Every structure is written in C-alpha cells, then in structure tokens.
Amino acid sequence: MNEFELIRTLTAGLPGNDTVVVGPGDDCAVIESPGGGAQLLFKTDAVVEGIHFTMETEPEKVGHKALGRCLSDVAAMGGSATSALVTVGLPRDREVAWLKEVYRGMGELAARHGVSIVGGETTETSGPLFLSVAMLGEVPRGKAVLRRGGRAGDAIFVSGELGGSLAGRHLKFEPRLREGRWLAETFDVHALIDLSDGLASDLRHLLNAGGVGAELMAGSIPISRAARLQGRGESSRKPPLLAALTDGEDYELLFTVAPDDAVAVLDGWKRVFPDVPLTCVGKITEAKGVRIRDEHGVRNLEAHGYTHFK
C-alpha cells in the first residue's frame, strides 16, 4: 500500500461538514471562510530527522524545508499563505541553540512570503526530531486550482529544472507561491500540483483519475545541473533524464492549460518571472497511461517516483 492508498483508506468515512469545499486528496484542503469571500487553504506536513534531513543538516535549512514544503502546497492551489503553526518533537538532548536556528530558517522564509508564524508547540520524543507545520492560506472564492483537471489536448508545463534535488536543492528551494498565484489569477489553469515525488509519478494526479493520459517529450524535460552531475558519479548510474523524471523533491509547479493558452502562458511567464524557467514538456492525451517520446519512438513511463510506503 503506498501513501496515497493509505490516506484514502484512512480518510474514507470520516465526517465532513458544510464548510468543506475540497477534502482529502489535493495539495491543500479548501474550506469556506466564516465571512464568505476568499476561501481558506489548510495543509499540514511533517519532516523527520533521518528521513527528510540528517543530523548533519544545518538547522536553518531544516526549518526552511519544513515550512517550504507547506508553502509549495499552497502555491499548488494558486493561493497565498497567511499563517503557520509549528509543532516540534524534540529529543531530550537537543540543544535550544539548534532549535533557534531552525526557527530562524523558518522565519526568514516566512517573512519573504508575508507569512506569520502564530505559535508553536514542543513535545518530548524518545525518537528522532520531527517538525510538523500547519499552514493556513487563502484563495479567491472558487479559484483554487485542483490536481485532477487535465483535459485531452492540454499543454503540460513545468517550472524550474528537475532532478538531483537531494544534492542540496531540497533544503533551499524557494516555493513557487508568486508563480502559482499569478498563473491562477491570469489563466484558466486546468490542473496544478507541486512536484514532490517526481514528474513521472505526480503527473498521474492530473489525469482526472485515469480518464485521460499524457505524453511527455523526452527532449523537452528540463534537467537540472545536479541531475546531470550525479549521473556522472560512480555511486550512481541513474541517467540524468531518469533522475529528472523520478528523483522527487523538486518542489516545482506542474500544470496544464488548453493548447490555445500555451503561448500566452509562456510569453507572460517569461516577462513576469524571467529568472525561472518554464517548459512545455508534453500534452494530455485521450489515450490513457503515461508515455514518453524520444528519437527512438514512444515508450510507456512507469511511476518510479519515491513512494513513502511500498
């Protein structure tokens, strides 16, 4: 059972109420706000020492990553982040100075995106340190962009460059909040997700529960320098393209728009975000499944993305 199946099993049959616009299964939950108007985005995520970072990771980067992952999920709804709460599970021997640096990393990232950190809890743990972040955001009423909206013919875009994130980027990525908000405000974005498990895996969430498929163009996948470098190392023989498709932890935006909008999206993006690459990597197809096309032809692409439970 992978993480998605597990969550689906666990959340089936749980109570809802009339404030719920989007429940489990998207990047954030969407909730009606009491006064009407903009809707609320609600998200929680945890990082654990030994899984998402190590004892050697600089503490301010631990804080950056913990907060950044939630911010990336808000970006993937086309929303703005407003407030965060932090719960720390703290081993007894951890020094307060270390934890202060974690908070400094969170605080700097929060300040850049106008997010307030409105509280924290600490609890003891006999195990590895964990940081759980809860995030509140908002999005104009009815404008949250969900995952499962890809339509046959849509152009598929990805921001940034993919692969090799564990070489360093996973600890210092800048969540694409401005980009996500701009996209949602400016275009009719059909489907939007942030890349956490890798393009080959996360792309499947856009396919309307399997109602449509996708075809990627191998030559168009933006491969990061880190993915190219790690391909050269002796310890890894993962080809750079495969790394870009499956490494995960990219925290880039993946989205689809109608083919008629594709040029306007590319032109507008280059004007507004000249420093962030945006690449059309393929299209949504009526034919189901995910395929990749290169100079040798078309092959099926499996989801080798990192899944948390196998």
DSSP helix/strand/coil, 177: helix
Residue 162 DSSP label: B
Alpha helices in 94-236 (DSSP H): 96-112, 177-186, 199-202, 225-232
> For residues 41 and 253, which CB has a smaller minimum distance to its own copies in the complex?
41
Alpha helices in the chain (DSSP H): 3-11, 59-75, 96-112, 177-186, 199-202, 225-232, 240-246, 262-272
Smallest distance from its own copies to CB 168, Å = 21
19's tokens: 């404030």
Q: Which residue has the tokens 């499944």?
A: 289
Smallest distance from its own copies to CB 176, Å = 20
| Burial bucket for residue 275 (CB in 10 Å: 0-12, 13-18, 19+) | exposed
Smallest distance from its own copies to CB 104, Å = 9
Spatial distance between the Cα atoms of 196 and 139, rounded to a whole number of angstroms: 22
Smallest distance from its own copies to CB 143, Å = 12
> For residues 270 and 308, which CB has a smaller minimum distance to its own copies in the complex?
308
> For residues 45 and 252, which CB has a smaller minimum distance to its own copies in the complex?
45
> For residues 102 and 265, which CB has a smaller minimum distance to its own copies in the complex?
102
Smallest distance from its own copies to CB 124, Å = 5
8 Å CB contact between 77 and 181: no
> For residues 11 and 220, which CB has a smaller minimum distance to its own copies in the complex?
11
Q: Which residue has the tokens 């790394």?
A: 243
Smallest distance from its own copies to CB 13, Å = 7
8 Å CB contact between 186 and 286: no
Spatial distance between the Cα atoms of 48 and 108, rounded to a whole number of angstroms: 21
> For residues 137 and 213, which CB has a smaller minimum distance to its own copies in the complex?
137
Smallest distance from its own copies to CB 47, Å = 8
153's tokens: 């013919």
> For residues 34 and 142, which CB has a smaller minimum distance to its own copies in the complex?
34
